[in-house]
A and B are shown apart, each in its own frame.
Chain A
């Protein structure tokens, strides 16, 4: 069984982004980029399924600028077998990415596509669900546990009111939540080995996919900042302030 894992190159989760002075976009010049943390979890789970003998191959795919190769190499250093880069310099929105992934799925015929549940840059939380819709495959989002048997996956999902278990028929799209696993670190020998793994480069045009943006960002801004208030001396002081000043208790 083949597992396809889409990975996105995003601003590192420790970076606090700034808005460009003209408000047109966020300023990504000289900012540290990393693999989207949820995608790291998806890669880890795919590799674990391979180690458990469930999957035979883990293919990672990324869409974006040439530097997304680094993200693919990182994924290969933690166990993915090969990479596909869909190279384009333009803005890619979730629907366009889902359509690109659909084209890749038609070529690669994976049984599972394991996505991260959301990217920490646009916070859209869409691509996996969109891909499942386009392929008419079942979907299980926000996955915290997965077991694959035959042509079926039994999946535990994190939902607002607790946990939910669903059975989906394969092929299916799954999206990883935080507590699915703790991704391993790439070791130096594996980083070296990853450099020799196959990496194919495609383009949206070669896949026959129109990636025109449907949403136009008119402006971006920083939200109104909260300012630090006061320090209180002790519990008595706190209760007094909450009662008489803030009037919330």
Chain B
């Protein structure tokens, strides 16, 4: 039986994390279909058809799928489920929202945020903030799985899948989107950036955060992240948070500035290739995972670093 991956999109393009979910599906093996549910989403469907490895794109185009709210989206997925052995989506805030609803409606378990595929019914996933990894086997007829994007390569382009349209389900009218306040940034996406520079409570306030972190991010072409403490204190918006319950990142270079390194933060960044920690407290736990540690006052170190980078 085939595998169905639910695409996350903005009706014109496919979100990057979906490409990682496609790679996870390819590891499971089998024919791969992608579902694009949206409104006036033909462009997103065309983009989906170009993803390597996808043999068919199913498109459900209706006004009540415009915002991909979980109630209508889940019902649509469930209506297609009987033809599939696996249903996958990226473990983004969207995937985490609708996929458990799909699983419950199918009366099957969900395997959350997998980081490895052992067999078509057996997956590896982190528990306890990533301090433990569990290998779990599903006995359900349909496997509903969310995928941690950083654990799988992004699928490439070059596919030419058939695009097939699906009849839309009824509008359940249980919920309505009022609006979205999206953070606008010219910088790379936090979860896909090659370099991430993240700030913590040590920066003291939002003004310092912007004044000291942003020029460095500009210099390095980096995305900006933050610890929970920095977000809670209002230095930066919620979508900057890296950690167990925020974003999971695994860049080539992660620079932690004024972040002590609570296990909940480490859970979100410890798979980075190279970790740099800058902190005035030599005993801070962040140094235990850092490849390069610099003990010092960040208010002196960061301007010096900027100067060194020329």
Chain A residues packing against B (C-beta within 8 Å):
11, 13, 16-17, 19, 26, 38, 93-95, 98, 117-118, 120-134, 136-142, 144, 154, 157-169, 172, 177-179, 214-223, 226, 228-232, 234-236, 238-239, 241-242, 246, 248-249
Besides A216-B139, A226-B288, A238-B294, 19 more A-B contacts (Cβ < 8 Å) are A16-B131, A94-B110, A120-B128, A120-B244, A122-B112, A126-B110, A158-B239, A161-B180, A161-B182, A161-B239, A162-B239, A164-B181, A168-B174, A179-B231, A214-B139, A215-B137, A215-B138, A238-B276, A238-B305
Interface locus among B45-53, B97-105, B207-215 = B97-105
Residue in B104, B137, B247 whose beta carbon sits within 8 Å of that of A130 in the complex:
B104
B257 to nearest A CB, angstroms?
12
Residues of B within 8 A of A133 (CB): 74, 100-105
Q: Is the CB of B136 within 8 A of A242?
A: no
Q: Is the CB of A11 within 8 A of B292?
A: no
Chain B residues packing against A (C-beta within 8 Å):
69-71, 74, 92-94, 96-105, 107-113, 122, 126-140, 173-183, 191, 195, 220, 228, 231-232, 237-239, 244-245, 247, 252-253, 263-264, 270, 273-276, 287-296, 301, 304-305, 307-309
Q: Is the CB of A166 within 8 A of B69?
A: yes
Residues of A within 8 A of B238 (CB): 144, 158, 162-163, 179
Q: How far is the CA of A188 from the CA of B96 in the complex (A)?
A: 38
- Kindly report which residue of chain B lies nearest to residue A38, judged by CB atoms: B245
Residues of A within 8 A of B133 (CB): 220-223
Q: Is the CB of A17 within 8 A of B128?
A: yes
The 10 closest A-B pairs by CB, nearest first: A130-B104, A229-B291, A138-B174, A129-B100, A235-B304, A126-B100, A133-B101, A214-B109, A133-B104, A165-B178
Given contacts A118-B245, A249-B220, contact A241 B103 (CB under 8 A): no
Residues of A within 8 A of B110 (CB): 94-95, 124, 126, 130
Q: Is the CB of A234 within 8 A of B245?
A: no
Given contacts A178-B232, A239-B308, contact A249 B239 (CB under 8 A): no
Q: Is the CB of A11 within 8 A of B128?
A: yes
Q: How far is the CA of A95 from the CA of B244 in the complex (A)?
A: 22
B70 to nearest A CB, angstroms?
6
Q: How far is the CA of A133 from the CA of B262 in the complex (A)?
A: 34
- Kindly report which residue of chain B lies nearest to residue A165, judged by CB atoms: B178
Q: Is the CB of B177 within 8 A of A164?
A: yes
Q: Is the CB of B174 within 8 A of A228?
A: no
Q: Is the CB of B131 within 8 A of A226?
A: no
Q: Is the CB of A159 within 8 A of B305?
A: no
Residues of B within 8 A of A222 (CB): 131-133
Given contacts A164-B180, A214-B109, contact A142 B305 (CB under 8 A): no
Q: Is the CB of A163 within 8 A of B180?
A: yes
Q: Is the CB of A123 within 8 A of B126?
A: yes
Q: Is the CB of B183 within 8 A of A242?
A: no
Q: Is the CB of A95 within 8 A of B237?
A: no
Q: Could you pull out 14 A-B pairs where Cβ atoms are within 8 angstroms?
A: A133-B105, A142-B93, A161-B183, A163-B181, A167-B175, A168-B175, A172-B174, A215-B137, A220-B133, A223-B132, A226-B270, A235-B307, A238-B308, A249-B220
Q: How far is the CA of A239 from the CA of B307 in the complex (A)?
A: 10
Q: Is the CB of B134 within 8 A of A219?
A: yes
Residues of A within 8 A of B94 (CB): 159-160
Q: How far is the CA of A29 from the CA of B177 in the complex (A)?
A: 46
- Kindly report which residue of chain B lies nearest to residue A173, judged by CB atoms: B101
A36 to nearest B CB, angstroms?
12
Q: Is the CB of A242 within 8 A of B292?
A: yes
Q: How far is the CA of A168 from the CA of B70 in the complex (A)?
A: 12
Residue in B92, B175, B291 whose beta carbon sits within 8 Å of that of A166 in the complex:
B175
Q: Is the CB of B237 within 8 A of A19?
A: no
A111 to nearest B CB, angstroms?
14
Residues of A within 8 A of B309 (CB): 239, 249
Residues of B within 8 A of A214 (CB): 108-109, 138-140
Q: Is the CB of A228 within 8 A of B139?
A: no
- Kindly report which residue of chain B lies nearest to residue A118, judged by CB atoms: B245
Q: Is the CB of B136 within 8 A of A217?
A: yes
Q: Is the CB of B180 within 8 A of A139?
A: no
Q: Is the CB of A246 within 8 A of B294?
A: no
Residues of B within 8 A of A144 (CB): 238
Residue in A11, A123, A134, A231 whose beta carbon sits within 8 Å of that of B244 in the complex:
A123
- Kindly report which residue of chain A lies nearest to residue B179, judged by CB atoms: A165
Residue in B253, B263, B287 whose beta carbon sits within 8 Å of that of A16 in the complex:
B263
Q: How far is the CA of A177 from the CA of B238 in the complex (A)?
A: 11
Given contacts A13-B264, A133-B105, A166-B177, contact A235 B308 (CB under 8 A): yes
